[in-house]
Structure 1
Amino acid sequence: MIEMKSKKPLSSKMLTFVFIALHLSSCYGQVNEQVEKKENTPKNQTPALKQNPVFPQIHTNLNGMVREFVRAMYQDTKGTYWFGTNGNGIIRYDGQTLETVSVEGTSPYLAVREIVEDKAGNVWFGTSDGLLKYDGEMFTTFSEKEGLQNGEIWG
């Protein structure tokens, strides 16, 4: 036959001890978990949104200058960044100033589709109004008047 022993009720001191022990062990596990996470992170890992010292974050939409989207981006040999938009023309960033570039004789809703630089340092823009050349000081426009077959340039 199986003999059954009577169970004694746990005393309040014993219950308090068990509760405190469980509580402390759960806190200890949390501390170790945080330490392990820190140790598992490689020291050379870069954050996803790290600030870039070459091109600091200006704004997500280039300070509100772009209504639609940027179609072309280019950094010339002088370090200037050029942004060709899909209806807001050309935006230039020289490392300090962000500005919209107005080119006389072109539409205010200019779509810039391609930006390249030649060996002489001229920056060329393929646009919805033809071809533009920037020589470092001024823009020259090339359109059907100058012999292009079509005013639409698609890089």
Structure 2
Amino acid sequence: MTKGVFVCVLWILVFCTPCAGKKTTDIPKDTIHYNSRDTVTAYGPNSMVRNVKQGRNGTILIAAWKGIFRYDGKSFTNITSKISSPSFWDVLEDRNGNLWLATRDSGVYYYDGKSFQQFTTRQGLANNFVCTIYEDRAGIIWLGTGDGVSRYDGKSFRNFSTKDGLSNNSITTILEDKTGKLWFGTRGEPCFYDGKTFTVFRNKAGKAFTNVWSIIEDKKGAIWLGDNDGLWRYDGSSYTLVSKRGASAMIEDKKGNIWTTGSIDPPNGKVWALSRYDQSSLYNAKPTVTEVMSIEGPGMLCGLLEATDGSIWFGALGSTSGVFRYDGKTITDFRKNKIRNNG
């Protein structure tokens, strides 16, 4: 396979979505019970890692193409080794300690620690490709799919699409801000939902943000968006293009630094990097950016997490598929069990 063909296939795997879906509130259960033990290894996944999330008691949850892994500080457990669907995309541990597992083609799995329950379009999910999972402050689960947003209240689904005012049906990320508005990043324009109405988010010049893959709210209440043009900040009245570096994933750490993974030359995507924007210079004309790690294509850096111990976890796909941890000095590659010295 040539390099050009490989890159095309890689982008198809990451950015193409199914488009079929249906709406229903009937929830017939599809429960799967297992008696065999989970697979435990000393190494992390060696396939695409799209998202990394914090679990309870300091555990790390990793959504990899070939499984959902839990890291307890010593070993990795593939908790989905008995599920036939290999294409996991996101993971969430809800307030009750149950896991929600998003897949690219098999809907979402709910895991209570004993058995799995699968939700697909048959149970009312908008689409069987689920890109992102979010729990709001009321405990409602929101699922961003390839055909709109599904809201699950524990009993039934309610689906929203462009027919209801959603800006685009392909959902990439979800955030609830401090005022209770829900923000939706899409492969078109982002929008927010106040519980009644969807509003498309544009700057004062009327220019739309497009292909938004990450949205966060910082400690000051500013909204940050990563789109095709780079990294933007909205303070409630004005918009600032902070950087032309991409931000496919973004977090604010405990010290107020902004971390991103993304292409440093969007939309070309030839080089991807883990970058840190220093909190003391975030509002400067040119904030201080530290490039912690970079890779050349074919390949990408994806999901981001600051763990309870302050370490930064991130995923990768392509030639460097796997999960990494940065402790401020060294980068640990768990797939290859190597230590990369940084600086």
TM-score normalised by the shorter chain: which range applies? Answer: 0.5 to 0.7
Runs of 4+ in 1 over 6 A off after TM superposition: 49-52
1:74 maps to 92
2:140 aligned residue (122, 134, 147): 122
| Deviation readout 1:100-128 (Å, 9 max, x if unpaired) | 11332634xx2111111110000111110
By percentage of residues, which structure has more strand? 2
| Deviation readout 1:28-82 (Å, 9 max, x if unpaired) | xxxxxxxxxxxxxxxxxxx838997xxx75442x421x1x411000010011100
Query: C-alpha distance in 1, partners of 2:132/2:80?
Result: 23
Query: C-alpha distance in 2, partners of 1:113/1:59?
Result: 18
> In terms of Rg, which structure is larger?
1
By percentage of residues, which structure has more helix? 1
Q: Judging changes above 3 Å, is the alpha-carbon distance between structure 1 residues 116 and 48 closer, same or farther for their aligned structure 2 residues? A: same
In the TM superposition, 1:32-111 aligns within 5 A as 48=42, 58-60=79-81, 62-64=82-84, 66=85, 68-102=86-120, 103-104=123-124, 106-107=126-127, 110-111=128-129
Query: C-alpha distance in 2, partners of 1:139/1:86?
Result: 19
Q: Which runs of 5+ in 2 are unaligned?
A: 1-40, 44-69, 174-343
Tell me if the contact between 2:124 and 2:156 (Cα under 8 Å) persists in the aligned partners. Answer: no
TM-score, normalized by length of structure 2?
0.27
| Deviation readout 1:4-24 (Å, 9 max, x if unpaired) | xxxxxxxxxxxxxxxxxxxxx
1:38 maps to none
TM-score, normalized by length of structure 1?
0.57
| Deviation readout 1:129-150 (Å, 9 max, x if unpaired) | 1111111221111111211121
- The AA in structure 2 aligned to 1:92 is Y
Alignment RMSD, CA only? 2.5
Query: C-alpha distance in 2, partners of 1:146/1:84?
Result: 24
Tell me if the contact between 1:84 and 1:112 (Cα under 8 Å) persists in the aligned partners. Answer: yes
1:140 maps to 158
Query: C-alpha distance in 1, partners of 2:172/2:71?
Result: 33
Equivalences, count: 101
Query: C-alpha distance in 1, partners of 2:144/2:131?
Result: 5
Q: Which runs of 5+ in 1 are unaligned?
A: 1-46
